């Protein structure tokens, strides 16, 4: 679905390239989490996918990014937007309307979706985010979690093939963060939509994504399933990426020779590993 | 000032009117206010303002707004009072005098501004910005870019005010005293423009990108999903406002 | 000392955001407020430094009601770090930023300069750098430094780690924890339960404008009833320990069932296996 090859990018005002020789291939329908330390280039990587670079921020762009066969440098931002839906970090300034329903209508109107189809699309998008009852509410009155769901719904209504989200849970409490990821995951599975999320909360990513991408100083350090990536917990720590505590615990138990098997990503995984250990089955010979 | 100029959902007659009709009627009222110097006519407009405020259940907002406008216009009125000597001398001043007509004039300024500001601001409280922009594009054929710019500007006002309030709070929390004279206040506010500017530039930038990735460039006059037909009541409302203007002009010409 | 006596509060006379909240924070405490967005945590913080006055009840700082003091007067007692450092930073250089509070509180002078220099040294700042050009994590640290350089006896932090990466977060929290170790009272709002578990000694859980739990950090975070009422997710190790006890893998009184930290859990598990291993050998 997305083919990035030898991508390098330097912002015009930046001295050093923010991305250096990125190669990444994302299959159709994947749920991808991107993380890394501040300033590692993880957000810029998503800008390359939704066309914000090179179309909105000037700079030196080398290599190529293809989304569904379309070269993002050659296509216009508007054309890329037909394929890739983007939810920006600052959702407050993203909102163009004062009422939820109008916010969802906006993109549908612009992209010329037939007017007979529009009501059904609005219903569907609101339902997918579980906010059907917010339809007539004023956006200013909504909580952070509700606003985030509106922002996602207004992009989902366009039925993009790829959905890119930049730190969608930064301002949310843990319960709302989990709720947003639950909805994204379900949508991705049901509609086969490719989802790419930049996120600081590694525990959340480890639980939901099927591919975890770790960016460090403009390069992809690790890319694989959370199990594979979290094997490298020590190296991750060196580049400023924490591991979920469950992973750290099980890794320590493995180091002591108490537990075998792959790295765990979730509390659930740690529970299994510990139960195995306590029942005597998990102990290594 | 939470919710300043922000849409308040409702079902009232004013809410359901055509956005263009609302704007037209409001502007007709404004012109009437500035055409006339007749206190009775201005009183009629203020009464009309009151009726509208009650009708769309926006009484507290209207009172707050009227107070703010009155406070502002008092400054203008004072200047007019001191510097436009007219009518019989009431009190001599080193550079002229305060006359009976000056007093009338000053009062007129306050009454006129309050009377005309209320309908204009009420429009924003009872109209969704998107509806207003879409109706302007559909009915009056205003280019969408201009309508969107206007819409974004108004949309950003509450966000800026929020930011400003937040920045001032941060200053107070560090020990800055914002009470005191106007000059002192302004002097204290100046350095705050930097953080405000920084956040505004960031916000407008990300808003522009967000609009673009949602097909802003493709939007045409036909894009809007909702239609904005005029109904009998819209014509009636504009008719009443137009009639007021006619009366105002007649009073001006005849008296 | 901070005392809340049956405090209710609201904005612009609207619906009450806080209802009948009472608690006391003693000198030297490290308290974390937890709960969902909109539970009233930030409102509580604003009440502490007088940005908001209670509509009923009283907030006392060292025995003086905040209603009798202006926020600017409270500033010397309560240092307040806002969630967004960009709303706080306003000077042209890092040095000026650090001096700002002294000037605002009328404490400028040689002593202030010395303290600022020491702070620049301690944090490794460039005193002449322009604050807005620093990266997000450094701006947050600068905002924190410009508050604590004033040495207020109470520090209030509204989501100090939001938007920071792991290293930045650890750096900020180390500073805060060091501050607390030297006797400063710390009150913070925090969504990251791992951070809460690592640093806070006491947790107050709020939901819908009311306090639902107030106690030692892990007593609150282990209370299933509180967790569900306040929509909280416990730290992973706590969740693991509760799950293991629940599912009967360990006895509810075993060290594993009481382990709260990574180190504690590792030790407890190793100990448990050791004991059982010996049992099997017989």
Tell me the pLDDT tens digit for each residue of B59-87.
Answer: 888 898 899 899 989 999 988 888 888 88
Chain C positions touching A278 (Cβ under 8 A) are: 244, 249-250, 256, 269, 272-273, 276
Find chains touching chain C: ≥3 CB pairs under 8 Å.
Answer: A, B
Chain C positions touching B191 (Cβ under 8 A) are: 90-91
Quick one: pLDDT at residue C244? Answer: 94
Q: Is residue B62 assigned to a domain?
A: yes
**What average pLDDT does the segment C213-233 reach?**
95
Given CA atoms C245, C247, C251, C252 in this order, what sign does their dihedral have? Answer: positive
Determine whether the interchain pair C37/A278 forms a contact, defined as Cβ–Cβ distance below 8 Å. Answer: no
Q: Are residues A219 and A203 in the same domain?
A: yes
Determine whether the interchain pair C249/A278 forms a contact, defined as Cβ–Cβ distance below 8 Å. Answer: yes
Task: Kindly identify which residue of chain B lies nearest to residue C151, measuring between CA atoms.
Answer: B174
Assess whether pLDDT exceeds 60 at residue C5. yes
The number of C-alpha atoms within 13 Å of C262 and in the hemisphere containing its C-beta is 14
CA distance C214 to C202: 7
Q: Are residues B67 and B180 in the same domain?
A: no
Total residue count of chain B as it appears in this document: 255
Quick one: pLDDT at residue B187? Answer: 78
Quick one: pLDDT at residue A285? Answer: 43
Dump pLDDT digits (tens) for B181-199: 777 777 777 777 877 888 8
Dump pLDDT digits (tens) for C258-280: 999 999 999 999 998 887 765 54
Q: Residue C157: beta bridge partners?
A: C81, C188
Q: Are residues B117 and B164 in the same domain?
A: no
- Judge whether A155 and A108 are in contact, CB under 8 Å: no
- Judge whether C149 and C91 are in contact, CB under 8 Å: no
**What average pLDDT does the segment C185-200 reach?**
95
**Max CA-CA distance within chain B?**
66
Q: Are residues A213 and A255 in the same domain?
A: no
Neighbours of C224 (CB within 10 A): 10
Residues of chain B contacting A, Cβ within 8 Å:
3, 6-9, 128-131, 148, 151-152, 155-156, 158-159, 202-204, 206-207, 209-219, 223-226
Q: Which residues contact B124 (CB under 8 A, 6 or more apart)?
A: B5, B6, B7, B154
Determine whether the interchain pair A38/C269 forms a contact, defined as Cβ–Cβ distance below 8 Å. Answer: no
Q: Are residues B210 and B234 in the same domain?
A: no
Interface check for A89 against chain B (CB to CB < 8 A): the answer is yes
Chain A positions touching C165 (Cβ under 8 A) are: 36-38, 200, 240-241
Interface check for A120 against chain B (CB to CB < 8 A): the answer is no
Phi, psi of C230 (to 5 degrees): -95, 10
Q: Are residues A188 and A57 in the same domain?
A: yes
Interface check for A281 against chain B (CB to CB < 8 A): the answer is no
Which of B151, B204, B215 lies at the smallest CB-CB distance from A110? B215
Which residue range(s) make up the domain with B155?
142-220
B contact residues 6-35, partner C, Cβ 8 Å cutoff? none
Quick one: pLDDT at residue A213? Answer: 97
Confidence tier at C281 by pLDDT (50, 70, 90): very low
Q: Are residues B251 and B151 in the same domain?
A: no
DSSP A14-47: -SS-SEEEEEEEE-TT-EEEEEESTTSSHHHHHH
Which of C36, C163, C265 lies at the smallest CB-CB distance from A176? C36
What's the token pair of residue B145? 């870019």
Quick one: pLDDT at residue A230? Answer: 94
Chain B positions touching A98 (Cβ under 8 A) are: 6-7, 128-130, 155
Name the average pLDDT for chain B. Answer: 87
Interface check for C90 against chain B (CB to CB < 8 A): the answer is yes
Q: Are residues A104 and A181 in the same domain?
A: yes
CA distance A263 to A232: 9
- Judge whether C4 and C21 are in contact, CB under 8 Å: yes
Q: Are residues B81 and B188 in the same domain?
A: no
* CATH code (residue A83): 3.40.50.300
Q: In angstroms, how far is the first alpha carbon of chain A from the final one?
A: 44
Which residue blocks in A61-143 are alpha helix, DSSP H? 77-83, 91-94, 100-110, 118-128
Given CA atoms C271, C196, C120, C106 in this order, what sign does their dihedral have? Answer: negative
Quick one: pLDDT at residue B162? Answer: 84
Determine whether the interchain pair B218/A94 forms a contact, defined as Cβ–Cβ distance below 8 Å. Answer: no
Quick one: pLDDT at residue A281? Answer: 62
Task: Please give, rounded to a whole number of angstroms, the shortest distance from the CA of A284 to a CA of chain B.
Answer: 53
Distances (CA, A) of A118 to A111, A123, B124, C152: 11, 9, 27, 57
Cis peptide before A246 (omega within 30 of 0): no
Q: Are residues B110 and B169 in the same domain?
A: no
Dump pLDDT digits (tens) for B138-151: 888 989 888 888 88
Q: Are residues B150 and B110 in the same domain?
A: no
Tell me how many domains chain B contains: 2
Dump pLDDT digits (tens) for C56-95: 999 999 999 999 988 888 899 999 999 888 888 888 899 9
Chain B positions touching A157 (Cβ under 8 A) are: none
Q: Are residues A258 and A187 in the same domain?
A: no
Interface check for C43 against chain B (CB to CB < 8 A): the answer is no
Quick one: pLDDT at residue C91? Answer: 87
Determine whether the interchain pair A176/C165 forms a contact, defined as Cβ–Cβ distance below 8 Å. Answer: no
Q: Are residues B26 and B123 in the same domain?
A: yes
Task: Please give, rounded to a whole number of angstroms, the shortest distance from the CA of B23 to a CA of chain A.
Answer: 18
CA distance C267 to A274: 13
Quick one: pLDDT at residue B102? Answer: 87
Nearest to residue B137, comparing CAs of B124, B148, B153?
B148
Task: Tell how far CA C250 is from the center of its chain.
Answer: 33
Nearest to residue B49, comparing CAs of B114, B128, B3, B124?
B114
Which residue range(s) make up the domain with A260?
244-285
Q: Is residue B196 assigned to a domain?
A: yes
User: Where are chain C's structural domains?
Assistant: 235-282
Interface check for A56 against chain B (CB to CB < 8 A): the answer is yes
Q: Are residues B90 and B195 in the same domain?
A: no
Q: Are residues A116 and A249 in the same domain?
A: no
CA distance A43 to A34: 8
Q: Are residues A154 and A282 in the same domain?
A: no
Interface check for A41 against chain C (CB to CB < 8 A): the answer is no
If phi > 0 it is left, if psi is from -120 to 50 it is alpha, else beta; for residue B244 that is alpha
Quick one: pLDDT at residue A52? Answer: 93
Which of C163, C243, C266 lies at the smallest CB-CB distance from A271? C243
Q: For residue C12, what is the DSSP state?
A: T
Dump pLDDT digits (tens) for A70-123: 999 999 999 999 999 999 888 888 888 888 999 999 999 999 999 999 999 999
Confidence tier at C98 by pLDDT (50, 70, 90): very high
The number of C-alpha atoms within 13 Å of C257 and in the hemisphere containing its C-beta is 11
Interface check for C89 against chain B (CB to CB < 8 A): the answer is yes
Assess whether pLDDT exceeds 80 at residue C12. no
Q: Are residues A113 and A232 in the same domain?
A: yes
Neighbours of B94 (CB within 10 A): 5
Q: Are residues B87 and B36 in the same domain?
A: yes
Edge-to-edge, what's the strand order for the sheet holding C202-207? C78-81, C154-158, C185-189, C30-34, C202-207, C210-216
Residues of chain C contacting A, Cβ within 8 Å:
35-38, 135-137, 162-168, 191-194, 231-233, 235-237, 239-240, 243-244, 247, 249-250, 256, 262, 265-266, 269-270, 272-273, 276, 280
Does residue C103 sit in helix, strand or coil?
A: helix
CA distance C189 to C39: 11
Q: Residue C65: beta bridge partners?
A: C60
Determine whether the interchain pair B174/C101 forms a contact, defined as Cβ–Cβ distance below 8 Å. Answer: yes
Nearest to residue A112, comparing CAs of B223, B188, C71?
B223
CA distance C7 to A32: 46
Q: For residue B194, what is the DSSP state?
A: H
Q: Are residues A260 and A235 in the same domain?
A: no
- In total, the C-beta contacts within 8 angstroms joining chain B to chain C are 72
Better-scored residue on pLDDT, B180 or C45: C45
Chain C positions touching B167 (Cβ under 8 A) are: 87-88, 90
Tell me how many domains chain A contains: 2
Chain A positions touching B132 (Cβ under 8 A) are: none
Which residue blocks in C17-165 are alpha helix, DSSP H? 41-48, 71-74, 94-104, 110-123, 136-148
Assess whether pLDDT exceeds 50 at residue C282. no
Determine whether the interchain pair C75/B163 forms a contact, defined as Cβ–Cβ distance below 8 Å. Answer: no
Nearest to residue C271, comparing CAs of A258, A19, B186?
A258
Q: Are residues A130 and A197 in the same domain?
A: yes
Walking along chain A (285 residues) 10 residues at a time, the average pLDDT comes out as 95 90 95 95 94 91 95 93 91 86 93 93 93 90 87 94 93 90 94 95 95 96 95 92 94 89 92 88 52
Assess whether pLDDT exceeds 50 at residue B1. no
Determine whether the interchain pair A109/B225 forms a contact, defined as Cβ–Cβ distance below 8 Å. Answer: yes
Quickly tell me which residue has 């929020």 as its tokens. B162
Task: Please give, rounded to a whole number of angstroms, the shortest distance from the CA of C203 to a CA of chain A.
Answer: 16
Using only the alpha carbons of chain A, give its radius of gyration. Answer: 20
Chain A positions touching C226 (Cβ under 8 A) are: none
Chain A positions touching B8 (Cβ under 8 A) are: 138
Q: Are residues A178 and A192 in the same domain?
A: yes
Determine whether the interchain pair C49/B199 forms a contact, defined as Cβ–Cβ distance below 8 Å. Answer: no
Confidence tier at C114 by pLDDT (50, 70, 90): very high
Q: Are residues B147 and B119 in the same domain?
A: no
Q: Are residues A160 and A41 in the same domain?
A: yes
């Amino acid at each position: 679905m997305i083919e990035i090859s030898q991508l390098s990018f330097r912002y015009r005002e930046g001295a050093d390239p923010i991305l250096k020789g990125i190669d990444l291939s994302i299959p159709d329908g994947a749920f991808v989490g991107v993380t890394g330390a501040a300033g590692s280039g993880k957000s810029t990587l998503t800008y390359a996918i939704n066309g914000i670079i090179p179309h909105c921020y000037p700079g030196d762009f080398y290599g190529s990014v293809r989304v569904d066969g379309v070269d993002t440098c050659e296509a216009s931002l508007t054309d890329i937007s037909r394929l890739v839906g983007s939810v920006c970090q600052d959702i407050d300034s993203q909102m163009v309307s004062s009422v939820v329903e109008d916010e969802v209508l906006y993109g549908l109107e612009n992209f010329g979706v037939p007017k007979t189809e529009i009501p059904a699309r609005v219903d569907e998008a609101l339902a997918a985010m579980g906010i059907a009852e917010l339809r007539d509410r004023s956006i200013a009155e909504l909580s952070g979690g509700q606003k985030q769901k509106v922002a996602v719904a207004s992009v989902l209504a366009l039925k993009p093939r790829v959905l890119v989200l930049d730190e969608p849970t930064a301002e949310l409490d843990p319960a709302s963060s989990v709720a947003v990821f639950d909805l994204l995951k379900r949508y991705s599975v049901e509609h086969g939509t490719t989802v790419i999320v930049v996120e600081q909360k590694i525990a959340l990513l480890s639980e939901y994504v099927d591919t975890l991408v770790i960016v460090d100083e403009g390069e992809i350090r690790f890319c694989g399933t959370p199990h594979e990536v979290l094997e490298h917990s020590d190296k991750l720590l060196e580049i400023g990426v924490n591991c979920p505590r469950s992973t750290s615990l099980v890794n320590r138990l493995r180091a002591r020779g108490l537990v075998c098997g792959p790295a765990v990503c979730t509390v659930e995984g740690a529970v299994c590993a510990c139960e195995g250990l306590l029942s005597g089955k998990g102990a290594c010979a | 000032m939470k919710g300043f100029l922000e849409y308040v959902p409702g079902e009232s007659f004013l809410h359901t009117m055509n956005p263009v009709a609302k704007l037209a009627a409001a502007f007709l009222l404004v012109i009437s206010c500035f055409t006339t110097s007749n206190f009775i006519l201005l009183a009629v407009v203020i009464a009309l303002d009151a009726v509208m405020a009650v009708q769309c259940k926006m009484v507290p907002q209207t009172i707050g707004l009227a107070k703010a406008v009155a406070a502002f216009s008092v400054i203008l009125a004072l200047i007019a009072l001191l510097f436009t000597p007219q009518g019989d001398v009431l009190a001599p001043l080193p550079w002229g005098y305060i006359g009976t007509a000056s007093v009338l004039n000053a009062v007129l300024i306050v009454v006129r501004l309050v009377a005309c500001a209320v309908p204009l601001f009420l429009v924003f409280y009872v109209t969704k910005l998107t509806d207003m922009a879409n109706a302007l594009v559909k009915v009056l054929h205003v280019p969408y870019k201009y309508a969107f710019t206007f819409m974004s500007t108004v949309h950003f006002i509450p966000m800026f005010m929020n930011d400003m309030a937040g920045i001032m709070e941060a200053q107070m929390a560090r020990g800055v005293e914002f009470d005191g004279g106007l000059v002192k206040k302004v002097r204290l506010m100046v350095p705050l423009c930097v953080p405000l500017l920084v956040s505004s530039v960031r916000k407008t930038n990300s808003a522009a990108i967000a609009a673009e990735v949602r097909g802003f460039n493709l939007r045409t006059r036909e894009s809007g999903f909702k239609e904005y037909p005029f109904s009998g009541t819209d014509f009636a409302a504009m008719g009443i406002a137009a009639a007021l203007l006619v009366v105002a002009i007649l009073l001006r010409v005849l008296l | 000392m901070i005392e809340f006596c049956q405090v209710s509060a609201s904005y612009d006379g609207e619906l009450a955001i806080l209802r009948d909240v009472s608690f006391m924070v003693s000198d030297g405490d490290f308290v974390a407020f937890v709960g969902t967005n909109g539970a009233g945590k930030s409102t509580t913080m604003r009440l502490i430094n007088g940005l908001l006055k209670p509509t009923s009840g009283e907030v006392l700082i060292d025995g003086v009601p905040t209603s009798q003091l202006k926020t600017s007067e409270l500033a010397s007692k309560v240092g307040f770090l806002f969630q967004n450092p960009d709303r706080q930073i306003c000077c042209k250089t890092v040095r000026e930023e650090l001096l700002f509070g002294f000037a605002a509180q009328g404490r400028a002078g040689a002593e202030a300069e010395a303290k600022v220099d020491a702070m620049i040294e301690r944090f490794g700042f460039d005193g002449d750098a322009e604050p807005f050009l620093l990266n997000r994590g450094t701006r947050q640290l600068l905002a924190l430094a410009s508050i604590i350089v004033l040495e207020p006896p109470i520090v209030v932090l509204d989501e100090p780690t939001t938007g920071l990466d792991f290293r930045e977060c650890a750096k900020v929290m180390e500073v805060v924890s060091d501050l607390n170790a030297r006797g400063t009272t710390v009150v913070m709002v925090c969504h990251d339960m791992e951070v809460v578990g690592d640093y806070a000694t006491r947790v107050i859980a709020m939901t819908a404008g009311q306090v639902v739990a107030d106690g030692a950090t892990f007593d609150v975070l282990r209370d299933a009833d509180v967790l569900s009422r306040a929509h909280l997710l416990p730290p992973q190790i706590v969740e693991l320990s509760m799950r293991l006890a629940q599912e009967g893998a360990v006895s509810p009184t075993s060290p594993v069932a009481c382990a709260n930290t990574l180190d504690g859990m590792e030790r407890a598990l190793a100990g448990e296996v050791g004991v059982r291993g010996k049992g099997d050998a017989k």
